[in-house]
Structure 1
Amino acid sequence: MTQPLADHARTGTERVGAITFDRRLSGLSGIAIRGFLLSLVTFGIYRFWYVTELRRYFWSRTIVDGSPGEYTGRGKELFLGFLVAIAILIPIYVAIFIATISVPWLAPFGSILSFLILFVLGQFAIYRGRRYRASRTLWRGIRLGQDGSAITYAAMAIGWSLLTLATLGLAFPFMRASLERYRIDHTLIGSSRMASSARGRSLLLPWLMFYVVVLLPIAAAFIAFLVASDFTIPDDLFVPKEGGKPGETQFNSDYNGTPIATFGAILMGTLGFTLPLGLLLIPFYRARETRIFVNAASLGPVRLSSTLKARQFYWPYIVYLLSIIGFVLLLGLVIGGGALLLHAGGTQSGAHWAIVLGMIVGYLGGALFFAVLYVRVITARLWAAVATTTTIENAGGLDAVLASSRRVGSGLNEGLADALDVGGALEVGF
């Protein structure tokens, strides 16, 4: 804790500050439409400016203790950083390819080697990308920052990932908490340093729900199937389908009515039931994790307090899913109607090309619609949910935060994350 914050804490000033977000979202649809169309005609190049515009929008409409945030990044920085990152990655890809064809015993492990190298680079890039975003964020004229080592962060991620694999996923919440502590403990607001007290045990119970709902039923059904088959799966359980395509198989009817068929059907039914339930648990876990991480963050005497509920994460996804279902049904009706017109009008009437053109326009229109919908429904609502359910305890301590003359990092910090597709345009929470 820095001395100015400590002195301010001793004054006894206790004030609760609010974090608000403008839910009207005026102008957001225009940004999304412009970003989608210009990215389309520039073959994705404009997306760097689109991301920058989105960040400026969300930063400026997030009011922390009466003062809005400010994003000073530029699309040009992201674009040039991306180009430099590509120039770095191409030799790495070429080296991996040459190694796999030059060393025969290495060839079967080429994909694994590529994954490991890109995973390490990805974790390195995630940390560096966050450093860039922090250095381009201002609040009350005070610049945020992030120190620490991206190499250390990547090494931590590798070690925790290996432990997570060794424990069949049980170490995952402890990994998330450890990486969160490192990120927050190296986050700077002016000359003051943040801290996090996040612990994996706080996340263990919501994480174990995945085991109870998904893994344990699947494991029990699989063991029952193995017992029914005497721990030996018959080679002829699936046979080539008569009249089918090459490689197409079907269940061997000779096993109908046997315990293998019965418990095999139970196993497939369990998979079909529990996997969707597992997907439904993801927003619940994300909401719980976000709330725990927010409550663990502090800046000297200043602490954050979140009342985020899981339902606030579920609703945006439900609306988005219903929109997808409605669009698919509508598209099906349009295609079906077009097929009828084509059959009735014949190819000489020009109906064929009209239908093809209509399908292209419909596809692009649908892509544009969902691009706008995603930003407004998913991104904006999740952002608003996290912001508006968070309050600032001992907010008077923020008045003692001093600016810093810290050097601003380059756009290459996030360029590598974008090149590896591990950097999000907006990150909800910390």
Structure 2
Amino acid sequence: MTDLSTPFPMGAMPEAATSDTAPTDGEGVRAAFDGETPGISSIAFAGGLYTVLTLGLYRFWYATDLRRQLWHRSSLGGTPFEYVGTVREIFVGFLVMLTLLAPIYALFYLSEIYPDDEIGQWAGLGFLVSIFFFSGFATYRARRYRLSRTLWRGVRFGQTGSAVVYALRNFGWLILSVVTLGLAVPFWRASQERMRINNSWYGDRRFASTAAGLVMLPRFLVYLLPVLGPLAVAIANVFLTHPYEFLAAQVRFMSMGGQPDPSLVHAFQGVVWTILWACVGAFLLWPFYRTGELRRFIGRVRLGETRFRSDITAWAVYKSHIAFAFTVCLSGAIGGLLMAALLSNRYGRVDTHDTRTLVLTIVGYALAYWLFGALRLVMLTAPVWGKLVGSVTVEGIGHLDTVAARRDRSSATGDDYAGGYDVGAL
């Protein structure tokens, strides 16, 4: 079988930065990332365009080229990392993913066909449970694949452990988090982090993690209170200002298609707005919590006598998010005005039945998808990756000179079920 990995030339691989070479073990060696963007930009814009033109088929080459660039630009002790995965492996993994997802989506279609029947309701529940289980299973397998295709100093990383156990643990922690109104989330994340790290290897040496959820609980509360606090106040206001019997009667009345009592409209509007804020706030404030979590989790990782620490800050990540958001909004405004001008006739109206309108809408959507993906990679994914890599200091790097390669075989197929573009799991 011929190699499918390089049908389109995407530019030569850059030399990794070597500014991280000098310090002794006592001082620690800082990882480095070559932040120059020419190679990444060419992959982002050319690869994204090929992906759109091939209706997604090129995504396997796109992901492979992208990982090779990001891995090679990341270095430790002057030695770059290597990504040795192939397009064929990811493509086979994609086919396996489709096979695994087929019965899951059969449940979804049953729930859509019989929405009012018991079989449809059970199918809908089965779909939600299955898709959540599969997400945990796929995430663990994807991380295993990426680690098994990552080398440093010619020695391969690896991951053991069961993806099924990881997914089942996710279920247990989800139930506990719901029961505790979210307070178990830091413990959930720390527990899964320990499983991932304690099953990770560099050659014949095993990583170890002592990540603790209790340490992250205060920061999580600082994150959670602004997100859910307004919602809790709005819901409490509804119950404190209206009798329970009245609210129960209103719920039954609205379930039959009736309109709520006018005295409840304002209170319900407050609940709706706070729900919207909870969704938006959870997204906006997540980098604040996540960067703190990364610092503490990385600081709890050991590889024999080798230790790690990170000084990444939330502001460093927010700067990339703000620049990306501003660029996308500006590009969207310009693109929207241009589309409006192209679609409008001489009377300023848009004929939705015109073939020209349909064609321009499809082309505009494809261009927007391509531009958004390319900008996201160049302005968000790669910079945040670089800031995380550059924030890590390794103490006792000399102890890694005695690491030997493991002799067990890695998977011959790509287990990358969690998505071709995701590179953040490492």
Please classify the TM superposition score into its range, dividing by the shorter chain length.
Answer: 0.7 to 0.9
Greater C-alpha radius of gyration? 1
Taking structure 1 as reference, are residues 266 and 338 closer, same or farther at Cα in structure 2, changes over 3 Å only?
A: same
Determine the structure 2 residue equivalent to 1:9.
Answer: none
- CA separation in 2, counterparts of 1:278 and 1:48? 31
Instruction: Give me the whole-angstrom Cα distance separating, in 1, the residues matched to 2:349 and 2:422.
Output: 49
Q: Give deviations 1:181-207, integer Å, cap 9, x for gaps.
A: 011111110111111111011221222
Structure-2 residue corresponding to 1:276: 280
Paired residue for 1:216? Answer: 229
| Residues 18 and 66, structure 1, Cα contact 8 Å, conserved in 2 | no
Q: Tell me what 1:68 maps to.
A: 80
Matches within 5 A, 1:359-398: 360-398=362-400
Query: What is the match of residue 325 of structure 1?
Result: 329
Query: How many residues end up aligned between the 2 structures?
Result: 394
Q: Name which structure has the greater RCO, CA cutoff 8 Å, separation 6+.
A: 1
Alignment of 1:47-86 (within 5 A): 47-86=59-98
CA displacement at 1:169 relative to structure 2: 1.4
Of stretches 147-156 and 264-273 in structure 1, the one that deviates more from structure 2 is 264-273
Going from structure 1 to structure 2, the CA distance change for 1:305 and 1:105 (only over 3 Å counts) comes to same
The alpha-carbon deviation at position 358 of structure 1 amounts to 5.2
Per the alignment, residue 426 of structure 1 pairs with 422
Match of 2:309 in 1: 305
Deviates more, 1:106-115 or 1:17-26: 106-115
- Quick one: distance in 2 between partners of 1:278 and 1:346? 37
| 2:135 is equivalent to residue 122 of structure 1 | yes
Structure 1 residues 149 and 219, CA gap change in structure 2 (3 angstroms)? same
- The CA distance in 1 between the partners of 2:407 and 2:267, in whole Å, is 67
Retained in 2: the 8 A contact 1:132–1:410? no
Identity %: 33
2:107·2:123 contact (CA, 8 Å) conserved in 1?
Answer: no
The one of 47, 70, 78 aligned to 1:35: 47
Consecutive unaligned residues in structure 2, runs of 5 or more: 1-23
Q: Distance in 2 between matches of 1:25 and 1:146?
A: 31
SS at structure 1 position matched to 2:47: helix
Contact 1:173 1:204 in 2 (8 A): yes
Cα distance in 1 for partners of 2:253, 2:109 equals 37
Q: Could you tell me whether the CA contact under 8 Å between 2:104 and 2:131 is conserved in 1?
A: no
Equivalent in 408, 419, 426 of residue 406 of structure 1: 408
Q: What TM-score, normalized to structure 1?
A: 0.82
| More moved, 123-132 vs 86-95 | 86-95
Instruction: Name the aligned partner's letter for residue 166 of structure 1.
Output: V
Q: Distance in 1 between matches of 2:68 and 2:204?
A: 23
Answer yes or no: is the 8 Å Cα contact 2:306–2:396 preserved in 1: yes
Deviation at 1:22, TM superposition (A): 0.7
Q: Distance in 2 between matches of 1:95 and 1:359?
A: 33
Matching of residue 156 in structure 1 with residue 177 in structure 2: no
Whether the 8 Å CA contact 2:295–2:311 is kept in 1: the answer is yes
**Letter matched to residue 316 of structure 1:** S
- Deviation of 1:130 (Å): 1.2
Give CA deviations for 1:275-302 in whole Å, capped at 9, x if unaligned.
5333321111121122222111111111
Task: Compare 363-372 and 18-27 and name the one that shifted more.
Answer: 363-372
Q: Secondary structure at the match of 1:413?
A: coil
- CA distance in structure 2 between the aligned counterparts of 1:70 and 1:324, rounded to whole angstroms: 32
Alignment check: 8 A CA contact 1:49 1:76 kept = no
Structure 1 residues 13, 332: closer, same or farther in 2, change over 3 A?
Answer: closer
- Aligned-partner Cα distance in 2 for 1:262–1:181: 46
Aligned Cα RMSD in Å? 3.1
SS of the equivalent of 1:159 reads helix
Deviation at 1:360, TM superposition (A): 4.7
> Amino acid of the residue matched to residue 147 of structure 2?
A
In the alignment, the residues of structure 1 paired with residue 404 and residue 26 of structure 2 have an alpha-carbon distance, to the nearest angstrom, of 19
CA displacement, residues 284-327 of structure 1 (integer Å, 9 cap, x when unaligned): 11211222221111111111110010011211211121122212
Whole-angstrom distance in 2 between the partners of 1:425 and 1:341: 40
- Give the AA of the match of 1:53: D
